[in-house]
Structure 1
């Protein structure tokens, strides 16, 4: 026979106990800290044009080296990580980055005789032209330039330059055709 369901008072007390659990409260503090260093502070340092729309859970690193043109749209969970010392990310006017796009302007070294995290990073600028559409879950690596008006298909990994007006997709992304 099934146990009787607890009454509303017992359920309410359990809910209060869960909310007041120190682990839950600490997690809230951690989330606020993360939002501060991954969104709020770098966002203040970025150079943004007019009418830029940024999802509240977008993530940035080294915002002083990120430039967004007019009417740029950044979807949910977009990550723009400029280099720690010099590499910049520039996004042209009217460009849209879909959810979960990741753009990095730095790569770790690959020498076999050193731990990867101990190697100096190679920093190279990323330039995304005007009027581009970057699909969901695209990764754009350091040193890439996307020409004006290009479209990058969802899930692509862009490791090389893409000319203006091109439609590219795949892993690694390859030009499929030019826009009509």
Structure 2
């Protein structure tokens, strides 16, 4: 099994595309973490006009463009509240890597592991858990990056750890999505 196929196929989000016009029904599909991340990056890179990103404290992210909206609701196992301190530390390794890491199949029974330059190495079992929760995504060039769910979960974890008022979590999550996923 190629290392990259391991990230595909497991839906992490329910994608709801809809219009603000009540006469047009929305479209509901399930997408993977990589698909949600790619769509968010494309939304943020589309043009120089300010793009609106809204978030909910429970982890949903809505991309707003005129009267068109796309909301990503996390699946039950993708909720940011399930991020542990160890997983947060692993995600910070991926986020802070100078050269984005790649998946390397090391022949263990747990699947591939994340390896990068310097000290970035996440064991296969930990990589499996991060991918199962949708916190990692594959970029087009095969590099491992934080997914939309990973960015949301890290910011949620940070807000909770630093005693940010829960009323401000949604704004902090939206800012983190824009800052991290804007190409």
Larger radius of gyration: 1
Q: TM-score range by the shorter chain?
A: under 0.3
Q: TM-score, normalised by structure 2?
A: 0.24
Which structure has more relative contact order (CA 8 Å, sep 6+)? It is 2
